[in-house]
Each structure stands twice: as C-alpha cells, then as structure tokens.
Amino acid sequence: MVSTTFAALARRFRTPLRDLPGTNVLLPSLGYFGGIEANRLAIGVRGPVSSIRMHVPDDVEGQVDLRGIELYDGGVRVPVERGNAEITQSSVAPTQPAGADPFTYGTLRTTKEKGAWWSVTFREPIAADEVRVYNRRDRWGDRSRRLSVEVTPADHGQPTVFTVDSDAVIADTLRVLSRITGLRVDKSVLRTADGARATRREILDTLARRAGEGLLTADAEEQRLLASVLPTRLPAQRTLSDAAWQLLGHLLAAERLRVHGTATSMMAFSGVLRSRDELGRLEREVNRASEILGGEQSVVTRHGLRDLGLLRKRSKEYVTAIVRATEMLSGLGQDAMLAYGTLLGVVREGDFLAHDDDVDMLTPIHAPSLEEGRAMLGDLHERITAQGWSVHRPGGGMNFHVRDPETGLHIDVFPMIVGGEKTSLHMEQMVIRPIDTTLLLPSVGQTFKGAEVRVPADPEGFLEERYGTTWRTPDPFHDWPWTLTD
C-alpha cells in the first residue's frame, strides 16, 4: 500500500498521479484507446443524453482528433439524425473532411491549440446508456492521451466525466496489473522513475510468462489498460524487449479471439513496427499467442492482422459477392470492375492474394470535375441502400463499403471520376490523381474461378500505373501505410 508519508504529501499538493516521476515510465501509453470495436473507449452514462463535450485540458496544447462517436442503448446502436445534432468545435482542421459525419466514422478534428474542444448538443435528447469514442487507428491516436469526455443528461444533472489519464484510470490499471501478475503494484511505484523502471521490467517478464500459459484477461477494458504498459512509439535506435513483444502479440491475439474478424490495434503501434523485420516479429508473436489461445493463424496486412488466406478460404462466397455487386450496380446504371489488390491477384496469380483481406471494385462517375463527382456520391449511396445493401464510409476518402445482404460479405467500392480523357481515382497511398481513361474504360469481361467478372480495359496497364513496373513480383509490403526502414 502507499506509505502514509507519501499519501499525505500527494494529498497536500494534490499532485495528479500522471505527473509523478514514474508514471510515464511504468505506463508509457497512459490514456491509450483505439479506433475499432476491439479497443474503443466505452463510457457508461445516465440518459437521455442532451450533450457531449470532448476536450483537452485548458493549459495543454493539443487536438481533439477522433474517428467518431456512437451512442448505444441496451447494447443496440442508436442512430443520430444530422438534423438533431448541433455541432460546435474550437476550430476546424483543414484535414477534417467537409460535411463529415462524426456519428458514422466521418472524422472530427480541431487544429492544435490550447484547450481544444468539440461539442454536440441534441435538440431532442437521445435515450442512451453508453457512449463509445473511436480514436484514430494509426499512431497519431496518441493525440488523444489527455482527452476528457463529458456527457450531460437531459435533466441537466451531474454530467458523466471520463478522463483517459485520470487518477481513477491509473489506479484501475495498477489494480489490474497487480491482480494478473500477483506482484505488489500500487501508487508507491510511481514515486521515482528508477523504481518504476525496475517494476515495469518485472511486470513485463511476469505478464509474458503468464501469457505463455493462457489468456491474461478476457475483459475488453482490462486488455486496453494492459496495453498502456507498452509504448506505441520508440526512438529509432530502440526496439521492444522480448517480453514486450510477447505481451503485444498476446494482446492482439486476444483481440482477435474476442472480436471476430477484427484488424486489431496493430496500426496504433506503427511507431514500434518500423521495418519488415519488426512486422515479421509481430506476426510470429501473434501466431504463437493464437496457438496458445486456440485462435486462428493470421497474417500482417496493410489494414492490420487478418486470417491467413482469408479470401482464398472463402473464395466461392467472395466470388458470389463480386458477381452480385456487379449485377446490383449494373441495375443502377453503374459499371463495376475489379481493381487494386483484387485485380492484381486475378491477373498475376489467377487467385486472390494470400495476404489480401478485402475485395476492391471500381465504379465510374461521369462528371466534369472531381468536386462535382464527389457531390454525386450521396445519391449513389442512397440508391444502393434502396437495393437492400448497407453502405458504410470508413473515412474521408471517396471509397465506401457495401455489404451484400445475401452473403453478408463486404466489398470496398472505389468511385472513379471520369472527366473525358482523364479519370481521377485513388492511387498510391490513397492519393486521388488522374490517369488515362483508356486504361479503365470500357471495362471488359474475364473469367475468374468459373464466374464472369469485369476488369479494366487494360488490366496490365492499370496495374503498372498503380504498382509500378515490378507489379509482377509479389511484395506484401508494397504501398505500406507508413514508412518502413527496410
């Protein structure tokens, strides 16, 4: 337990636990949460909810930079109508997409400033008992390590306030560490950096050893708190210790066990996954942990960890979904053709790529400019939805996911804006740029696994434009979403 002298000193000066010398040493990722179902922040609230405010401390220069938020009632997601939400924020970052809907992962982002904040007031309060906050999925999620969320009920009573690096969160983390390791881990270990460093080494060694015996915890919140012991960034000359690698592999494997099909928190740790060697080490550690936990083997992809050979294992179902999506879009007067990694697999290997984890298709939008083409996407989304397919926009790009109501599978649809001799579409690193329309249109038929599918007019030419002259040589790390040192 905390010594009487130390406890009295802390009370006298009211030093927040996060400011003690050993806190950032023991918990280098204090305040960590992610941007997917497996690692989002879940806050129990008293409803109906009239407003939500998210902010960083007034004296801290930072950003509110999140993927989005959701409201739930009894475990069921509550949709938020745009007309019922009055959104204000301290500033708007130039990179926040115009018209972005924060309730459908549309992104909300302020500029970097002291006391940055974002707020929504509901004209009609919403019946909800939980607010879920989704961070950025990448390493820049560490911008939210000082975030506070205030949720006010309709009766304007006491709001629910949750701060990701509060004394309560730190105390909870220490209790979880103490219970799982069997070590004495209390607030006294935060008094000095040296003491915290020694304690952290002992904690990591114990967690790694126990992870080799089975699941450390099945609880989502406890898994998130355990992740704060691991850094999400490291200086160039440093790497994770063996015990830290084992813990990271275990936590990601545990996420895959808990949330079927999740890409895991891998992208949040890109600051320690800086090379092909380190990505390979992660893949080995996750698969080693999966064997112990009884999970599926996985492969590192640019989207995260996915089942090894996912598309190949379910190729018949995915080909059916491709044909159905093509027919559905054709019925709306839209051409549709395979593209990107899916096309690469068809042309180069006659199969889905072993490391690929989604199906990519292109559909043309004829418009004189990129801006006018973008403006037409809303109508396309509505017409697709009217056919019984769900539509989901994963971010600020033009692409969107459609879900086949028959197979339940998702397809990533990429609109391309056709403006005469040039067509603008997502290319390397998701950057939108123009290429020759003749590479794409008119689409042509091709047989793939016994089914008739559509491909661009010049498949090889498009693949060379997209992947370069070496596209025929397999490289699972091509166009990786962050820079790799090797």
The tens-digit pLDDT sequence of the chain (486 residues) is 344 555 555 555 578 999 999 999 999 999 999 999 999 999 999 999 999 999 999 999 999 999 999 999 999 999 999 899 999 999 999 998 877 889 988 889 999 999 999 999 999 999 999 999 999 999 999 999 999 999 999 998 999 999 999 999 999 999 999 999 999 999 999 999 999 999 999 999 999 999 999 999 999 999 999 999 999 999 999 999 999 999 999 999 999 999 988 999 999 999 999 999 999 999 999 999 999 999 999 999 988 998 888 899 899 999 999 999 999 999 999 999 999 999 999 999 999 998 888 899 999 999 999 999 989 999 999 999 999 999 987 766 799 999 999 999 999 999 999 999 999 999 998 899 999 999 999 999 999 999 999 999 999 999 999 999 999 998 888 889 999 998
Fold of 312-467: Beta Polymerase; domain 2 (3.30.460)
**390: alpha, beta or left, given left = phi > 0 and alpha = psi -120 to 50?**
beta
Please tell me the pTM assigned to this model: 0.84
The continuous run of DSSP H or E covering 67 comes out as: strand 65-73
- Can you list the positions of beta strands (E) in 351-460? 360-366, 390-392, 400-403, 410-419, 422-426, 432-436, 444-448, 451-455
What whole-number distance in Å separates Cα of residue 278 and Cα of residue 272? 8
First-residue to last-residue Cα distance in the chain: 47
Binning the chain into helix, strand and coil, the percentages to the nearest 5 are: 35, 25, 40
The continuous run of DSSP H or E covering 288 comes out as helix 276-293
Torsion sign (Cα): 205, 210, 212, 217: negative
Q: What span, in angstroms and rounded, lies between the C-alpha atoms of 135 and 417? A: 30
Sorted by where each begins, the domain ranges of the chain are 37-163, 312-467
328 with 388: CB under 8 angstroms? Answer: no
The three-state secondary structure class of 381 is helix
Strand partners, 300: 305
